[in-house]
Structures are given as C-alpha cells and as structure tokens.
Amino acid sequence: MDRVQKLNLVGLSKADYAAAPSTLCKGCGHNSIANQIIQVCYELSLRPQDVIKLSGIGCSSKSPAYFLGQSHGFNSLHGRMPALGTGALQANHTLRAIGVSGDGDTGSIGLGQFKHLVRRNVRMVYIVENNGVYGLTKGQFSATAEYGQVLKYAGRNDFPPIDVCVEAIVAGAGFVARSFAGDAKQVRELLKAALSFRGLAVLDIISPCVAFNDEDDSRKSYAWGRAHEKALQELGYIPPQEEIVIEDYDPGATRVVELHDGSRLTLRKLEADYEPNDRLRALERIQRAEEQGELVTGLLFYDDSRPSLAEVSGFGPTPLSELPDHLLRPSRDALEGLLAGYA
C-alpha cells in the first residue's frame, strides 16, 4: 500500500519541494542546508512559483539544483549574484528570493557586490555556505580561512580572515545570523525568520568541506600512482563520509564539534536573553567569541526599520514585469517632445 504524503496549506507534499539528486561529496554540509530549505519551504507552505533561486560559482552555488525543483533558478557569474538578484527583484518585487553563495563567491570576488546588496537592502535570503576553501578547484584558501591554517596543497594561510557577519553588520544589514550546517534545528528556525524579513537577511552557515589525502608510499597508493601515472584526464576522488550532525544544546552553552580532518570547532549558542537589536553589541559579541576561539551562532543582529529597495523605489502592487507596455514605455508624443528639446 502506497504511503499517503502529508500536504501543506497549498496542497503540496514535501517531495514537491525537492529537486535533482545532489552531486556534492557525501557528508558535505551543503547537502544538509539544501534539505533544511526544502523542509522550511514546505512547512511555510510557500508556492514554488513564487520563489526564485539565485547563485554564483562554486560548490555552494550548485546547491539550488538540489531544492525547489519547480522554482525558477539562475546561476550567475562568479561573485555577481547580488546584481542578478537586484535586477530580478526590481522586475518583480513580489517574489521570494533565496540566494546561495560561498565564502569565495561572497568574501573574495563578490565582496563589493555583496556590500551594495546590503546597502540597498534588497529583500532576499542570502546564504553563505562557508567552508574556508575553494572546493571546486582543489582546496585553495578563501578569504574566510583562519590565519595560520595549514593545508597540504595550499600551504599556510598568512592573511587574516574576512568575517561575513561583521561585513554585513557594518554595511547596515538588518538581519544577520550565523549557524552550523550540522545544527539542523537552528538552521531551520533561522531560515524561517529570514524568509519573513522584509529586507536583506544574511545567513553565514559554517559548512565543512569533506577532503582527504593518502600518504601511503605503496605502489598501490594514490601517492605512488600520481608520481608514476600518465594521466588522460584530471581525476579526483573523495571518500564518502558521514554528515556531521550535532544534538540540540542550551542557549549560552558551547558545543565542540570534531570535523572530518580531526580538527575541532567550538560553537557557542547565543544566550537566551541576548538582544539582537544593538549593532555595536553584536560586533562586540562576535569579536569576543573570536578572541575565545569560538564561533557564536544564532541571530546576531536584527533591525527592520530600514525600508527595502522595493519600498524606496515606490513600486505599486503590480510588478514591473506584469505591467502593460503603454505604462512602461513613453508615448511617441512624449519622445518627440523630448527630442525637440535637443534640436
């Protein structure tokens, strides 16, 4: 007997919010984030045709292919997703936008565009899937990598990291949060809040990259094979690993997470009485956690007093993309009058 699927308020099942199977590495935190987006959109009874998916370039930007298969998506040039999203939402400000970027796509080549997206307060959920490396190009350091970090192929990182949350708060974002991909409950709740915010909502989600190396000098090892093979193509293999998932823990408490490479990450959940409406306190809280070697998670800053770009533009209830031509284009008489002024 077929299992009956539970429908939400718009008559859709959770499966209706799914998309293509993931081609990312098994255990990648990006997959967990995509799953939480599916769950949240189902629970909020969003209509897929009312949502657009936007992304740039990178492992993170492949993620929109794995959720909301019935929604329209657009994969932009590297670091250019903010401009694409701004244009799309100016054309139709009634859409819900979910933008998925990465630490390289946002923190490096796209940092300038990200700053202007914040400045304009475009209504969008902007997710940074942050793993500190360029996963598609063999793990070079990104701009968010920790100072002094050492990787086998990238060497030592001698530059201080960019903190996406700090950049967003300083630039004037009204909704800034950080989470960990393995904390499914917190990710879901932050996504729900972000989708209800009337401006730009920035979510910096730490999402570990699954990468491993083999040091065996046996003739059947990867190392020996690389030294002696004559490659026809550039190939790579990343062994599958289990996704890192943590149990829920109390506000104000810490949780030490062991990553796939054996390193440890200390998460601290914001206190229950933390007030997220003080910009300076939010910056101080991030700095204090960094000095203690911790990553503070939760809603760091919230301010809904700024009007969105659509409100500043004075749009009416009808999107520009649905207005008739005679309301979008000047009449012949108006054009002739304008040209006459230059005669």
Task: Supply the angle between the helices 164-171 and 279-291 in degrees, to the nearest 10.
Answer: 160
243 alpha carbon, distance to own chain's centre: 18
pLDDT confidence band for 207 (50 / 70 / 90): confident
Q: What are the pLDDT digits (tens) for 105-114?
A: 898 888 999 9
3-state helix, strand, coil in the chain (%, to 5): 35, 20, 45
**Which CA distances in Å does 166 have to 197, 305, 314?**
19, 19, 30
113 alpha carbon, distance to own chain's centre: 15
- Report the distance separating Cα 317 and Cα 311, nearest Å: 11
Q: What percent of the chain has pLDDT over 70?
A: 90
- Report the distance separating Cα 103 and Cα 205, nearest Å: 10
Q: What are the pLDDT digits (tens) for 77-122?
A: 888 999 999 999 999 999 999 999 999 889 888 899 999 999 999 9
Where would I find the beta strands (DSSP E) of 76-174? 96-102, 124-130, 133-134, 140-141, 150-151, 155-156
Q: What are the pLDDT digits (tens) for 168-194?
A: 999 999 999 999 888 888 999 999 999
Domain ranges of the chain: 14-213+237-312
| Residue 146: CB atoms within 10 Å | 12
Residue spans of alpha helices (H) in 7-61:
29-43
Where would I find the beta strands (DSSP E) of 166-210? 175-180, 200-206
Contact between 54 and 97 (Cβ < 8 Å): yes
Contact between 243 and 182 (Cβ < 8 Å): yes
CATH architecture of 14-213+237-312: 3-Layer(aba) Sandwich (3.40)
256 three-class SS: strand
Model pTM score: 0.78
Contact between 122 and 98 (Cβ < 8 Å): no
Average pLDDT over residues 332-338: 88
Between 17 and 150, the more confident residue is 17
Q: What are the pLDDT digits (tens) for 278-323?
A: 999 999 999 999 899 898 999 999 999 989 888 888 888 899 888 8
Q: What are the pLDDT digits (tens) for 31-64?
A: 999 999 999 999 999 999 999 999 988 888 889 9
pLDDT confidence band for 197 (50 / 70 / 90): very high
Between 219 and 255, the more confident residue is 255
pLDDT confidence band for 150 (50 / 70 / 90): confident
Look over the chain and give the mean of its residue pLDDT values, rounded to a whole number.
85
Q: What are the pLDDT digits (tens) for 256-290?
A: 988 877 788 899 999 999 999 999 999 999 999 98
Q: Residue 231 pLDDT more than 60?
A: no
Phi, psi of 137 (to 5 degrees): -120, 35
